Chain A
Amino acid sequence: MQDTASQHAYGFLTRPEVQFLDAAVERLIPADELGPGACDAGVTAYIDRQLTSTWGMHGRNYRSGPWVEGTPQQGFQSRLMPQEIYRYGIAETDAHCKRQYGKAFRMLTGEQQDEVLHALEKDSIELPSLPAKLFFGLLWRNTEEGFFSDPVYGGNRDKAGWRLLGFPGVAASNYNELMYTQTEPYRVEPVSILDMQEGRAALDNQGYPKHVPAQKDGHGRN
């Protein structure tokens, strides 16, 4: 296996956790003829960076007890932080897969992986340390975020999520002229905050990017 710096550039996740997530997020948003899936879009790297951030330890959440499960309407009540939810959730799901299928999650067929993910979502797997749907809910939320947020956060590589939707990223300052008249799809190369930070986007005199027509295949089909 190729040993590159990027494979070790994880601040929180261990190698088996990375492999688990690469497999899981790819089932949630798979590669297809429309473009890359969540794995190639860097969603695992995105999740790792989120887990090392303030959010990964719920730094802005209320975290005093008593801890009571409550009703669904009362929202998140787990004493576990996202770091712990991923760590325990991955290990305990893998243990379930080994019991059920004799293999770790990443070694299962795609159909089996979907079966496990659906079971987590429906809470029909009993994980020892946390509700399965709590783990699944966080995994799906972060996958969607990592696929569609600005690439500055480590996911949405090559703006794959934005190309999929036809989302242009940072707005140009000419929308006011187009908004009332343009009924055809606005097909441009998406511009990210990362592009602008790295000097890859031409700017107008207001500091907004100048959008250029889409070039890459797969973009703007909408």
Chain B
Amino acid sequence: MAATKLKPVDAVVVGTGLAGSIMCKSLAETGLKVVGFERGRLLDTQHDFAMPYVHDELKYDRHSDILQNLSRETITFRNKMSELALPMRELGSFKPGECVGGAAVHWGCHAKRFLPWDFAARSQTLERYGAAQIAADCTTQDWGISYDDLEPYYDQFEHLYGVGGKAGNLNGVIEAGGNPFEGARSREFPNPASKTTQIGQLFSDAVRQFGYSPHSNPTAAMTQAYTNPYKLMLGECIGGGFCGGHVCAQGAKANPLNTVVPALGRHDNFELRTLANVIKINLDSTGKRAVGVTYIDARGREFEQPADLVVLSAYTFNNVRLLMLSGIGKQYDPASGTGTLGRNYSYQTHGKVQLFFEDRTFNPFMGGGGRGTAIDDFNGDNFDHAGLGFIGGSYVAAQTSGAAPIKSKQVPPGTPGWGAEWKKTAAHYYNRSFGLNLHGSCQSYRDCYLDLDPTYRDANGLPLLRMTFDWHDNEKKMISHIVEKSAEIAKAISPAKMGSHKLSAKYSIVPYQSTHNIGGAVMGDDPATSVVNKYLQSWDVNNVFVVGGSAFPQNSANPPTATIGALACWAADAIKETYLKKPGLLT
């Protein structure tokens, strides 16, 4: 079918989630003619987010229509290169979005910045411990930017999203009550920290005995009513649960739909084109310049939208896949180690210690909004790794997330999986249990990567993205070590019973873990090991910028959202202040 060629515009933005909405707004502010493409629909928050319908665990946990519809497009997955990759037929391990706002519409509001160490993980490990500390097949590398480069943009994002917290390091001065391990911040959070819950207090009291530093998790659920720099108002979080995975009736969960998208309507030079699935970036005959994108609309018609500037800001998978389908960059080959596109795909790691009590109740259905008390003492390189045989770490948090009744029942080890005893035990401990959650880093490895699947195709007949990924010893050792430390903390809280989970022997795509897939189009200062430069500009096609989690060379322990937001602000600034004035490779 021949594509209908449309009138040229100045810039197109592909994907209108967390990064894309920020890119759209920043570009629209320049007066350029900008089109934002979104494969999903524009939610109507007044009706889609109405009470009581958002307080529906079954819908949002199991049958949500704001998540990627796999009947049209999925990925394929295998643990090892020697296996046959098979399609992810139902959602499990992660939940990419399919709507304006993307996965950020249902995020859990955990708004931690990355640690300064995260941006220089390889060089700082070499400096402190030497080469032997890093596994031979580990491809973890420095980002090409430092924490200090990104700090003003973290600050910008936090004010856009109304993040609540308490500074632990204000301009280099350690502040009581905050996280002493965080990178220096230039000013306080725009909103106060969330208050400490009962479990947060138990955790705080316990970790202080070990000399650790408890602090409130930074959260993008409003700790008070807030008006952001675009004059958009967000309500205070009431702690009603039904949070992670859900949309918020209160408008208290900062997300693109209440922080940025309404402000896009003020720009006549901006057009949001929904139900428009971009399938290719078109290049000129030299292959060095993008001339626009091809997309398919809801009726199945194909259009070509010419543009001078193309910003890819879809989910990690689609950023990488669109580059592959468009022939931009060289596919990574793990056997020869050549090519960069698809290299350094990574994820995040988890562990848990569950505490069961006889004499305490927690009303666990209250909460959500990222409420939690955490320690960073085992995050990044905040502890001495000498002799431990791994790099990286995790934060440990006691979270009050709003325990939903289908998925959040915890039973002690040895409880039957169903039947009379399961029923009694699940009922007994639902209100008498909480967990210490580990949220850990994941390094990148030579054999963990993305490419196009040779067999399976999407509804448009295009090859699916193929993921090859498994846990490595570094992460297994790291989580085991910190689970043991967390169990010591748990014992100090004196539960009647305890259970724990370490990293599974193999990564499985089945249980939900996190929507924190990263890499594949990573940033860096060397075209031999990165797809985009430090301004997220394609080394190969200079009028293409690739913004999102796809740019992370490996994953921090901290959730990616704040860093994706900060990178979008950083890239948008580089485009506005430098690229548009003199198009070409930014240096």
Query: Hey, which chain A residues are within 8 Å of B240, CB to CB?
Result: 171-173, 175, 208
Main secondary structure of the interface of A (DSSP, over half): loop
> Does A149 sit at the interface, judged by CB under 8 A?
yes
> Does B195 sit at the interface, judged by CB under 8 A?
yes
Quick check: A61 and B89 within 8 Å, CB to CB?
yes
Main secondary structure of the interface of B (DSSP, over half): loop
Quick check: B71 and A60 within 8 Å, CB to CB?
yes
> Does A123 sit at the interface, judged by CB under 8 A?
no
Quick check: B506 and A73 within 8 Å, CB to CB?
yes
Give the contact stretch, choosing among B72-80, B260-268, B374-382, B543-551.
B72-80
> Does B491 sit at the interface, judged by CB under 8 A?
no
What mask results when residues 58 to 84 of chain B are scored 1 for a CB within 8 Å of chain A, else 0? Answer: 100011010001110110011100011
> Does A213 sit at the interface, judged by CB under 8 A?
no
Interface centre among B69, B92, B361, by most chain A C-beta atoms within 10 angstroms, is B361
**Closest chain B residue to A37, Cβ basis:** B423
Option from A32, A70, A167, A221 in Cβ contact (under 8 Å) with B86: A70
A-B contact count (CB 8 A): 191
What mask results when residues 2 to 31 of chain A are scored 1 for a CB within 8 Å of chain B, else 0? Answer: 000000000000000000000000011110
> Does B484 sit at the interface, judged by CB under 8 A?
no
Within residues 238 to 290 of chain B, which ones have a CB less than 8 A from any CB in chain A?
Answer: 238-242, 249
Quick check: A170 and B52 within 8 Å, CB to CB?
yes
Quick check: B239 and A60 within 8 Å, CB to CB?
no
> Does A193 sit at the interface, judged by CB under 8 A?
yes
Quick check: A209 and B52 within 8 Å, CB to CB?
yes
Quick check: A149 and B58 within 8 Å, CB to CB?
yes
Q: Give, as a whole number of angstroms, the nearest-CB distance from B398 to chain A.
A: 14
Give the contact stretch, choosing among B146-154, B313-321, B425-433, B572-580.
B425-433
Option from A74, A183, A185 in Cβ contact (under 8 Å) with B509: A74
Option from B239, B242, B419 in Cβ contact (under 8 Å) with A28: B419
> Does A162 sit at the interface, judged by CB under 8 A?
yes
Quick check: B366 and A178 within 8 Å, CB to CB?
yes
Q: Give, as a whole number of angstroms, the nearest-CB distance from A169 to chain B.
A: 7
Query: Hey, which chain B residues are within 8 Å of A60, CB to CB?
Result: 63, 65, 69-71, 90
> Does B400 sit at the interface, judged by CB under 8 A?
yes
Quick check: A64 and B90 within 8 Å, CB to CB?
no
Q: Give, as a whole number of angstroms, the nearest-CB distance from B460 to chain A.
A: 12
Query: Hey, which chain A residues are within 8 Å of B506, CB to CB?
Result: 73
How far apart are the CA atoms of A68 and B400 in the complex, in Å? 41
Chain B residues within 8 Å of chain A by Cβ, number: 70
Quick check: B63 and A55 within 8 Å, CB to CB?
yes
Quick check: B406 and A175 within 8 Å, CB to CB?
no
Chain A residues within 8 Å of chain B by Cβ, number: 69
> Does A202 sit at the interface, judged by CB under 8 A?
no
Give the contact stretch, choosing among A85-93, A98-106, A127-135, A140-148.
A140-148
**Closest chain A residue to B426, Cβ basis:** A165
What mask results when residues 180 to 194 of chain A are scored 1 for a CB within 8 Å of chain B, else 0? Answer: 101111100000010
Option from B57, B78, B238, B367 in Cβ contact (under 8 Å) with A74: B78
Within residues 408 to 453 of chain B, which ones have a CB less than 8 A from any CB in chain A?
Answer: 409, 417-420, 422-424, 426-428, 430-432
Quick check: A73 and B236 within 8 Å, CB to CB?
no
Q: Give, as a whole number of angstroms, the nearest-CB distance from B301 to chain A.
A: 23
> Does A42 sit at the interface, judged by CB under 8 A?
no
> Does B87 sit at the interface, judged by CB under 8 A?
yes
How far apart are the CA atoms of A30 and B422 in the complex, in Å? 10
Supposing A145-B406, A183-B360 touch, asked if A27 and B63 sit within 8 A by C-beta, the answer is no
Given contact pairs A183-B360, A207-B52, A208-B51, enumerate 17 new A-B contacts (beta carbons under 8 Å).
Answer: A28-B419, A53-B63, A55-B62, A62-B73, A62-B456, A71-B79, A72-B508, A73-B509, A143-B418, A145-B62, A149-B57, A165-B405, A165-B431, A166-B430, A166-B431, A171-B365, A222-B432
Listed A/B pairs (8) with beta-carbon separation below 8 Å: A64-B456, A64-B457, A71-B79, A114-B419, A164-B423, A167-B365, A170-B52, A171-B238
Which A residues are closer than 8 A to B by beta carbons? 27-30, 32, 34, 53-55, 58-64, 66, 68, 70-77, 114, 117, 121, 140, 143-145, 148-150, 152-153, 161-162, 164-176, 178-180, 182-186, 193, 196, 206-209, 221-222
